[in-house]
């Protein structure tokens, strides 16, 4: 029997997932680890954590499943995007990785826009430079740790450090590469203009590959460590969001995926690189060869509901919290919730944005407030959804929703009504690691394409059609959409001024 491994090196754990040639999951193992915050707003991690966790997880998933090491036919990689890993000429790590959620690089983001012009930068990279991306982190090291930059000879992303430890080779998938914002996103490779502008030698960056393309093979040393055979091929895979989209079958134009976790991610597969010239949406290369994706990110989607529950209803289950809100009419009799509890990324890119209940009266009760939180999160997702359509994605046939919020029938109905789109759930729930394994399966020749294997392995489980409340929600959304612009200056003042009596 032939099996494939997907490895997901995320921020808090590395997962190894094993599938058979039909795409069925036969084993999952993971190893958790911490990350460090050595200063306020900083976020760093030792790359050795990913490799040690990968070794433990691979050994465990093989042992638990009863699969023999020599039956593994391919490995796909995914993981947290945008993190900066710097190696010297001997492949030694020079400093802890600076992670995607590190916020130290605001001045560098401003410098990128000033040096090149925001419009030209977005035209090439497809993205507005913000603190999560890799390029601002490189500039920070150049400016603040010149002794580290002087020794640097290779730049990698977290999952590609695991690839290096598995193979001894430097390589990167094109989805992850585009997330560094050093790509010419339309040409699907490193931008000579960007590298020259920001003084980054091309030799410091690895060769890039499509998600289903072979990048390298397991070394003898790594094979001995893991109990698998040497020369197992590794495939490009993708960043966590691209691989997650593969794992839910969002591999064709017309299928949009929404992840309702702590954050909310709305992801649209496209056949060409649609770019938001204002930089409100991200444009990346997809794990699917020669496809792209548009992506919007809400920072506090499910996180808003968790805050609301833990603050006012601690110990109550989500199911119990949402009981009875179907009896509250859309709009909650005039109360609105703004879900900007940790600032916002899409569509406003405003770290000073704040959460708020607006329109409260003595008539409102806990059911009104609870439903308004669900509606506010869903309106925030509609902001992203409307942007995707405005940028040029006109064909949307289906929205596939995953994550904790997808388990709630009432939330799915509210979301279907607010987006005026069919909302479906699917049978695959393992996310990015599953998508990475599918990349390996296709790359190994077991299936012709990711589209084909997703048609076979990913099935719709539940479907929710928009109902009679859609028209009402269009009017309610127009009010919601006015609130942030009205309150923006107030949010900024609250965040930046010392206000005293």
Active site residue 240: yes
Specify the length of the chain in residues.
501
Find the helix or strand (DSSP H, E) in which 283 lies.
strand 282-285
* Furthest C-alpha separation in the chain: 73
CA 245 to chain centre: 9
- Reference 172, options 186, 156, 185, 187; nearest CA is 156
The 10 Å CB-count burial string (b at 16+, else e) for 213-237 is bbbbbbbeebbebbebeeebbbbbb
Find the helix or strand (DSSP H, E) in which 336 lies.
strand 336-338
Cα pseudo-dihedral 149, 155, 158, 159, rounded to 10:
-170
- Reference 350, options 135, 139, 495; nearest CA is 495
Residue 49 main-chain phi, psi, to 5 deg: -60, -40
Q: What is the 3-state secondary structure (H, E, C) of 195-232?
A: HHHCCCCHHHCCEEECCCCEEEECCHHHHHHHCCCCCC
Query: Which residue in 102, 240, 276, 383 is the catalytic one?
Result: 240
- C-alpha 454/C-alpha 270 separation (Å) is 16
**ω into residue 51 within 30 of 0, thus cis?**
no
Q: Given phi > 0 = left and psi -120 to 50 = alpha, else beta, which region is 23?
A: left
- C-alpha 158/C-alpha 238 separation (Å) is 12
- C-alpha 53/C-alpha 80 separation (Å) is 14
- C-alpha 13/C-alpha 30 separation (Å) is 6
- C-alpha 441/C-alpha 25 separation (Å) is 12
User: Residue 155's beta-bridge partner residues?
Assistant: 86
- C-alpha 164/C-alpha 132 separation (Å) is 23
Find where tokens 């490799």 sit: 51
Would you please indicate which residues are annotated as catalytic (active-site) residues? 240
């Amino acid at each position: 029997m032939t099996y494939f491994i997907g490895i997901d090196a995320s921020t808090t754990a590395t997962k190894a997932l094993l599938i058979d040639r039909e795409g069925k999951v036969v084993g999952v193992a993971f190893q958790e680890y911490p990350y460090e915050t050595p200063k306020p707003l900083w976020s760093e991690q030792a790359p050795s954590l990913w490799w040690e966790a990968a070794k433990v997880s691979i050994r465990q998933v093989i042992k638990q499943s009863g699969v023999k090491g020599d039956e593994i036919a391919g490995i796909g990689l995914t993981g947290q995007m945008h993190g900066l890993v710097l190696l010297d000429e001997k492949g030694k790590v020079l400093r802890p990785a600076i992670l995607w959620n590190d916020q130290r690089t605001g001045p560098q983001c401003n410098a990128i826009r000033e040096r090149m012009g925001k419009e030209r930068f977005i035209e090439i990279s497809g993205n507005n430079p913000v603190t999560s991306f890799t390029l601002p982190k490189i500039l920070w090291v150049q400016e603040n740790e010149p002794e580290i930059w002087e020794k640097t000879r290779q730049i990698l992303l977290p999952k590609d450090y695991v690839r290096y430890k598995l193979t001894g080779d430097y390589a990167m998938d094109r989805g992850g590469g585009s997330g560094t914002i050093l790509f010419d996103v339309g040409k699907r490779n490193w931008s000579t203009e960007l590298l020259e502008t920001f003084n980054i030698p091309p030799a410091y960056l690895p060769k890039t590959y499509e998600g289903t393309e072979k990048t390298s093979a397991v070394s003898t040393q790594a094979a001995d460590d893991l109990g698998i055979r040497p020369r197992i091929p590794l495939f490009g895979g993708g960043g966590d969001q691209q691989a997650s989209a593969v794992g839910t079958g969002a591999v064709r134009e017309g299928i949009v995926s929404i992840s309702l976790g702590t954050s909310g991610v709305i992801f649209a597969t496209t056949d060409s690189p649609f770019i938001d010239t204002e930089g409100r949406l991200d444009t990346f290369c997809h794990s699917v060869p020669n496809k792209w994706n548009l992506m919007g990110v809400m920072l506090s989607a499910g996180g808003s509901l968790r805050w609301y529950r833990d603050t006012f209803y601690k110990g109550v289950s989500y199911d119990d919290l949402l009981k009875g809100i179907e009896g509250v009419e859309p709009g909650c009799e005039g109360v609105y919730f703004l879900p900007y509890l940790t600032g916002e990324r899409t569509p406003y890119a405003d770290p000073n944005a704040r959460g708020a209940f607006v329109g409260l009266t003595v008539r409102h009760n806990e059911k009104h407030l609870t439903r308004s939180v669900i509606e506010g999160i869903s309106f925030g997702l509609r902001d992203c959804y409307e942007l995707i359509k405005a940028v040029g994605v006109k064909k949307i046939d289906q929205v596939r929703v995953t994550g904790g919020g997808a388990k709630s029938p009432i939330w799915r109905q509210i979301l279907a009504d607010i987006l005026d789109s069919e909302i479906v759930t699917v049978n695959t729930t393992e996310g990015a690691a599953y998508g990475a394994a599918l990349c390996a399966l296709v790359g190994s020749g077991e299936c012709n394409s990711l589209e084909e294997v997703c048609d076979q392995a990913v099935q719709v489980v539940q479907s929710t059609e928009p109902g009679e409340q859609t028209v009402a929600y269009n009017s309610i959304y127009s009010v919601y959409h006015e609130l942030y612009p009205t309150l923006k200056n107030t949010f900024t003042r609250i965040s930046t001024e010392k206000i005293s009596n």
